[in-house]
Amino acid sequence: MTAKDQNTKDQTPKTDSDANSLWGGRFAAGPAAIMEAINASIDFDRLMYTQDLAGSRAHCNMLMAQGIIGNDDGHAILTGLDQIEGEIRDGKFEYSAALEDIHMHIEARLHEIIGPAAGRLHTARSRNDQVATDFRLWVRDAIDNTDAALKALLQALATRAEEHAATVMPGFTHLQTAQPVTFGHHMMAYYQMFSRDRSRLADCRARMNENPLGAAALAGTSFPIDRQATATALGFDRPCANSMDAVADRDFALEYLSACSITAVHISRLAEEIVLWASPLVNFVALPDSLSTGSSIMPQKKNPDAAELARAKSGRIIGNLNTLLIVMKGLPMTYSKDMQEDKEPTFDTADSLALAIAAMTGMVAEIKVNEAAMEAAAGQGFSTATDLADWVVRVLGVPFRRAHDITGQIVRMAESKNCGLEDLSLADMQTVEAGITDEIFAVLGVNNSVSSRTSFGGTAPDLVRAAAQAAQTDLSDKR
């Protein structure tokens, strides 16, 4: 759920005394307006209400099981939490900047529903470990959502790769024509990139899946709590091993943002290529109408705005990573209010990346490939020169550096004649190297070139087709 999706009501702030009751007797006066504004996080951390309620339920059940609170109070708390969840879900929950964050809102509302028994929920718990727990749960859910989106993108890439396993196109280095490849092979290159992105997210999830709850403010608690019980209830593998680290750590968010940033870079690279391919000057692909826009003044235009915006999202996402790195870099142990700034960049990244992945998935699935234009371009720029050099090495037995020189001379000859390598006569090529025979013409066509690249991971259509089919099977077999 995004901030825009959350149905909220801006109500008249509750009284200062209501807010102060949560802070206790230390403060005689309410907060100044500017302090209230800078301190409040409810505008964005309300997105964690599901996680906060889950953490509170697990904590309450543990307190009852350990005999720390009575069952009557515990069941009243659980019933009240259920009511609050319904109110938030139905858009009937009232928010106030005076109550600062989602945690205080839920506690205040719980007190309104069940009375003083609500105060027992915070036994053996601080907002420090509560926030850390909620945020871990939220990031864990975000990882699962991002992973599912990437899986759909991978499926689209593998499907197009199989479809175009033999569609020849130019491969580039330095954005100069290098060697012929297939469009399917190109798609599978991105498949590998996004597969690694899923792997990074899985690593991040496994490493972060520890429970901060029970660390309290920073030093643990004197109550006989069962941290493993709350860890199990919340789907964590284990409790965090050190109470100070549990509340001070935001590595999990940094790792998530880092993995998202790398994914965004991959999306940006593919988006850049789609923008180039869709240009009338290149004409490799036609974009779907559903992911394009027109011009307000030029009727003929079909702009690749979805690709451009997906490309631009990478800057925003990388900026969010930098934001949190800079927030965290100078903080002493353990918790500082600076860490409230961890959520907005993380929430924004999850939303921005979800949009970018969805746009890219749609484009990969729906673009129309101009096979004729791709094949024609694949033969330009003497793209089979390496095939010629390899043939000279393989058949004539000369060292590759000598074959490289021979091929360079033949390329220069073709360039002077304004023709392709395959258009030169055998006699022309024999003026450079007398041993060349007419067998050379079997390797100079672009289709012959790609078919010859049979080394593991190569662009030969049979290899590409097998790789795409294996990828689809792998995606079907795994989560």
Closest to 211 (Cα-Cα) out of 334, 125, 107, 102: 125
Token pair 């879900």 is found at 89
In angstroms, how far apart are the furthest CA atoms of the chain? 100
Degrees, nearest 5: CA angle 361-367-369:
135
The C-alpha atoms of residue 289 and residue 238 are separated, in whole angstroms, by 49
Chain centroid to CA 196: how far? 11
Quick one: which H or E segment has residue 238?
strand 238-239
- Which single residue is written with the structure tokens 């928010």? 95
Closest to 101 in 3D by CA, of 198, 23, 179: 23
Rounded-to-integer distance, Cα 70 and Cα 66, Å = 10
Q: Residue 267: how many CB atoms within 10 A of its CB?
A: 27
For the packed helices 127-163 and 183-208, what is the interaxial angle rounded to 10 degrees? Answer: 160
Which residues are annotated as catalytic?
174, 295
**Please, how many CA atoms are within 13 Å of residue 90, restricted to the half-sphere of its CB?**
7
CA angle, 92 then 97 then 102, to 5° = 60
